[in-house]
């Protein structure tokens, strides 16, 4: 039976080997803070839904604690009557945590605001790297915060933990050198930028549409703007105030205003690949998409819907070809086709070539290669 310490060493070695962890001071923090202190003994589940129980299956529980995988610690905000089965809090995958903390470029003396305490592991790592008195962590859920505080005590860490809505930051502790969000945002809250010193960084998972997120590192400027690059794909649970509504695919019986045949390769497949899907979500405004079985079990169909519910489209098999149907004031499938064509004309850039600028008035603009390069304004939700 491998001890927790040996599992921890093996995990850190793997993070080094993958390139997720490079900074030696940060690596020392990972060594100083055992992850299993922050995994509940009972009630947590793997991302596949398998339950974890430290008493009944201690080996399996410890294996999960030191795997490079997230562990779900709360479903449906802890409300058993909701029964939706939606994960709402987790202990993030170690590789993802390392990537985010490396992206923050932490230095001795930095003061950090963490938005989303979760299990407390990330706050403990920050405290081990910078000092307990240099870290403030805000959590909106009282039950999650209670568990995090208990875990921090077990780990011997005492960062300041505050119950509150992280969208508003924590002005009492401002200004901060770094704001690190462990929840995804479509609109970067103005408070995060205002509470960061000029030249400081706001590090967050940013998303134009659920399911197509990236890690953003924004530098705060003296005029109240913030701008910076995307650092690759990254998925996180959304900031509670920015949770999207439930998906609303068009009903199967909905009649289209327009139907046309599509010849050539599978038009759905490109949108299942992250680089294409990301580029399209940036360029097409206020929409969502999903997959469901095609009628008669003949494969899959793609559905698209505007967020206001007034327009929809679907693409489904039609013998050797495909059929595109759309209805409403917007021709959503046309917009998606145009966005893909634009992306191909730009050379099919990867998400890492994009970045984000948040203007002093809160306007968001995604750009390619440089802030002055080709760009796409992001509408308010």
Report, as ranges of residue numbers, the positions in the chain whose pLDDT lies below 50: none
The whole-angstrom separation of Cα 205 and Cα 93 is 14
Q: What is the pLDDT of residues 21-36, one digit of tens each?
A: 999 999 999 999 999 9
Write down the catalytic residue from 89, 90, 92, 311: 92
Residue closest to 201 by CA, chosen among 131, 288, 283, 102: 102
Which pTM was predicted? 0.94
Residue closest to 358 by CA, chosen among 199, 240, 184, 223: 223
The whole-angstrom separation of Cα 380 and Cα 367 is 17
What is the secondary structure of 204-231 as a DSSP string?
Answer: EEEESSTT-EEEEEEEEPTTS-EEEEEE
How many other CB atoms are there within 10 angstroms of residue 187's CB atom? 17
What local confidence, expressed as pLDDT, does residue 310 receive? 87
Q: What share of the chain is helix, strand, coil (3-state, %, to 5)?
A: 35, 30, 35
What SS3 state is found at 20? Answer: coil
Domain residue ranges in the chain: 4-242, 258-345
Residue closest to 234 by CA, chosen among 96, 92, 70: 96
How many other CB atoms are there within 10 angstroms of residue 372's CB atom? 8
Residue 269 burial (10 A CB sphere; 0-12, 13-18, 19+): exposed
What SS3 state is found at 353? Answer: helix
What local confidence, expressed as pLDDT, does residue 247 receive? 65
Is residue 350 part of the annotated active site? The answer reads no
For residue 83, report the phi and psi dihedrals to the nearest 5 degrees: 55, 35
The whole-angstrom separation of Cα 115 and Cα 182 is 6
Q: Are 118 and 144 in contact (CB under 8 A)?
A: yes
Beta bridge partners of 358: 226, 364
What is the secondary structure of 40-60 as a DSSP string?
Answer: -SEEEEETT--EEETTT-HHH
What local confidence, expressed as pLDDT, does residue 210 receive? 64
Superfamily of domain 4-242: Vaccinia Virus protein VP39 (3.40.50.150)
Q: What is the pLDDT of residues 292-313, one digit of tens each?
A: 998 877 789 999 999 877 899 9
């Amino acid at each position: 039976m491998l001890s927790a310490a040996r599992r921890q060493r093996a995990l850190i070695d793997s993070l080094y080997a993958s390139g997720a962890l490079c900074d030696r001071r940060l690596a020392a923090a990972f060594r100083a803070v055992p992850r299993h202190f922050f995994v509940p003994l009972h009630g947590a589940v793997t991302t596949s839904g398998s339950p974890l129980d430290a008493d009944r299956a201690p080996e399996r529980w410890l294996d999960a604690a030191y795997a490079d995988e997230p562990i779900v610690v709360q479903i449906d905000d802890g409300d058993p009557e909701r029964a939706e089965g939606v994960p709402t809090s987790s202990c993030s995958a170690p590789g993802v945590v390392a990537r985010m903390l490396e992206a923050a470029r932490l230095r001795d003396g930095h003061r950090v605001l963490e938005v989303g305490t979760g299990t407390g592991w990330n706050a403990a790592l920050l405290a081990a790297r910078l000092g307990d008195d240099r870290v403030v962590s805000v959590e909106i859920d009282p039950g999650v915060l209670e568990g995090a505080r208990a875990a921090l005590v077990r780990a011997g860490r005492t960062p300041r933990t505050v119950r509150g809505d992280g969208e508003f930051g924590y002005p009492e502790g401002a200004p901060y050198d770094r704001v690190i969000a462990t929840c995804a945002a479509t609109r970067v809250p103005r408070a995060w930028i205002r509470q960061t010193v000029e030249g400081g960084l706001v590090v967050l998972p940013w998303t134009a549409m659920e399911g197509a997120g990236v890690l953003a590192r924004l530098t705060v400027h003296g005029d109240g703007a913030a701008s910076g690059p995307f650092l690759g794909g990254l998925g996180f649970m959304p900031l509670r105030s920015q949770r999207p509504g439930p998906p609303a695919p068009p009903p199967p019986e909905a009649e289209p205003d327009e139907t046309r045949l599509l010849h050539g390769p599978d038009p759905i497949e490109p949108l299942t690949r992250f680089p294409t899907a990301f580029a399209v979500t940036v360029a097409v405004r206020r929409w969502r998409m999903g997959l469901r079985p095609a009628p008669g079990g003949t494969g899959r169909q793609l559905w698209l819907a505007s967020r206001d519910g007034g327009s929809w489209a679907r693409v489904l098999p039609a013998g050797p070809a495909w059929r595109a149907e759309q209805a409403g004031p917007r021709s959503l499938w046309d917009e998606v086709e145009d966005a893909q064509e634009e992306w191909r004309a730009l050379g099919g850039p990867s998400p890492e070539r994009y970045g984000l600028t948040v203007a002093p008035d809160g306007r968001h603009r995604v750009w390619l290669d440089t802030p002055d390069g080709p760009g796409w304004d992001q509408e308010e939700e």
